[in-house]
Amino acid sequence: MAEPLVVVSNRGPVGFRRDADGELATVRGAGGLVTALRPLVDRGDVTWVASAMDDTERELAAAGAREERSAAGTLFRLRLVAHDPEAYRLFYGVVANPVLWFVQHGLWALKDDPDADLAAPWENGYVAANRAVADAAVSELDRAPHATLYVQDYHLYLVPAFVRAMRPEARIAFFVHIPWVGPGDWAVLPAEISRAIHEGVLACDSVGFHTERWRSAFVASCEALLGRGDDAERRSHANPIAVDTAEFDELAASDAVRARRAELQAERPEILVLRVDRTDPSKNAVRGFQAFGRLLEREPALRGRIALLALLDPSRQEIPEYVDYRLATEEAAAAVNGRFGTDDWLPVRLDVRDDFLASVAAYVEYDVLLINPVMDGLNLVAKEAPLVNGRDGVLVLSREAGAFAELDEWAIGVDPLDVDGQAEALARAITLPPGERRARLEGIRSRVRAHDVDAWAARELEELEARAPSGA
Ligand code: F6P
């Protein structure tokens, strides 16, 4: 039996909705973090503490912890935390996204109110929500005193320090799923907020990042802000999150995905360029569409033979900056189509909805996969899609995505702000000789299979074991 684990994240591994008849339905929890952590549940003895996202979930939270079953059938305990709705809005919609997200993805310039007073949303939103989650985590630790607390991501930077103050002997690990930036980038925030964030994370025994680059930035910013670089060095490690390879193999072979592939094949052009993202400014879809337009401009022979299929999951649409970026994305696609499209050829096929099976079908069918984020903690699509691709597809990958550190040998690297460079990279990807395409795809696959989600989870637990004080 595995050691007890209390996972803490903002979004839970399952979501709950009421259908038209008021019946409760569960939905697969969305997002990379939840997908990657789900296999941890199947180790057994897991409690998951997560925020209630809406009225339905707040109502469930009030009824106490629930027993849920993972896709593989393992039972786990789910403890939903009900926040006051206004506090949650300030926490999620004003502080975590956009402020922390933008600071940590080099997007601060996109925020049009950099002087806005953060003090009240910070205190009444971020601090309040972190405190509520920490209280719930402590009561779960009291049920299972030897459990490890495993806290996730930028929503919950303060939880470790709050828990440490209440339970000094707790074993606490943290994983940061987004980029960490250097002291200069943190300087756009009030110093007391940046310091609280760094102190919060340093209250852990072990802190994981996807790459050595983000880990080094953490050490540098801990040194600059708190004079605790050595402490950060001792506690941190890089361990890129991974894919449940068996799940993707099964999905790709499933009838549901086959049916979606048949639909795609019926209307696909000769060359299919694919992108699969959330409609998030950090994902850089607008420059991706512009680059595709430049490709069509410089290679007229491709017109009519190629299409860019963009499957974008609408994300954080309660936050104005994200709505604006989704609209800009739609305009950029329309601009390319207006300029180059004909009655029987649509160059950019933009589909804004959450349709996981359609994404997996497109993973099998692409010839070129374009992933060009401005910055990205890792980018799981860069691992998932090549795993199941059936056409020796070529990966064009931003050098600013964490996954580039693992896959650079086999990907065509691009600078996310360089639109012409991305057009050139697309042209190169299309003309690579077949043997080289195959070799590059095989290289990515063997890396993804060698460092799969089990290897990732084992390393996380080893790091914690090595760092937590003995006897804790
Ligand atoms: O680490 C980034 C992350 O937390 C991932 O889980 C996921 O890609 C995304 O952000 C989900 O965001 P949200 O919970 O706001 O939909």
Ligand 1 centroid–CA 178 distance in Å is: 9
pLDDT at 110 > cutoff 90: no
Which of ligand 1's atoms lies nearest the C-alpha of 177?
1
Give the Cα separation of 455 and 271 in Å (integer): 35
pLDDT at 1 > cutoff 60: no
Pocket test for ligand 1, best of 8, 9, 11, 323 (most atoms within 8 A of CB): 11
Residue pLDDT, tens place only, 144-181: 989 999 999 999 999 999 999 999 999 999 999 999 99
What's the token pair of residue 385? 């899609």
Which of ligand 1's atoms lies nearest the C-alpha of 10?
14
Phi/psi of residue 235, each to 5°?
-90, -15
What's the token pair of residue 264? 């795609």
Ligand 1 centroid–CA 32 distance in Å is: 6
Q: Which residue's CA lies nearest to atom 14 of ligand 1?
A: 11
* Contact (Cβ atoms closer than 8 angstroms) between residue 56 and residue 16: yes
Strand partners, 69: 75
Q: For position 112, what pLDDT does the model report?
A: 67
Positive/negative CA dihedral, 424, 430, 433, 437 = positive
Ligand 1 centroid–CA 437 distance in Å is: 31
Pocket test for ligand 1, best of 95, 154, 278, 371 (most atoms within 8 A of CB): 278
pLDDT at 40 > cutoff 90: no
Ligand 1 centroid–CA 346 distance in Å is: 31
Positive/negative CA dihedral, 222, 227, 232, 238 = positive
Give the Cα separation of 28 and 15 in Å (integer): 6
What's the token pair of residue 410? 């086999």
Pocket test for ligand 1, best of 10, 27, 28, 33 (most atoms within 8 A of CB): 33
pLDDT at 32 > cutoff 80: no
Q: What average pLDDT does range 453-465 have in this prediction?
A: 87
If we measure between CA atoms, which residue out of 360, 415, 408 comes closest to residue 386? 360
Reported confidence tier of residue 117, pLDDT bands at 50, 70, 90: confident
Residue pLDDT, tens place only, 407-423: 999 999 999 999 999 99
Phi/psi of residue 17, each to 5°?
-135, 155
Residue pLDDT, tens place only, 294-337: 999 999 999 999 999 999 999 999 999 999 999 999 999 999 99
What's the token pair of residue 462? 């080893």
Ligand 1 centroid–CA 354 distance in Å is: 14
Ligand 1 centroid–CA 221 distance in Å is: 23
What's the token pair of residue 70? 């993972």
Q: What average pLDDT does range 107-130 have in this prediction?
A: 86
pLDDT at 392 > cutoff 50: yes
Instruction: State percent of the chain over pLDDT 70.
Output: 97
Neighbours of 303 (CB within 10 A): 15
Q: What average pLDDT does range 349-370 have in this prediction?
A: 97
Mean pLDDT of the chain: 94
Record the pTM.
Answer: 0.96
Which of ligand 1's atoms lies nearest the C-alpha of 315?
16
Q: Which residue's CA lies nearest to atom 6 of ligand 1?
A: 33
Pocket test for ligand 1, best of 53, 177, 282 (most atoms within 8 A of CB): 177
pLDDT at 472 > cutoff 50: no
- Within 6 A (CB) of ligand 1 lie 11, 30-34, 97, 153, 177-178, 315-316, 377
Strand partners, 12: none
DSSP string, 397-411: EETTBTTHHHHTTTS
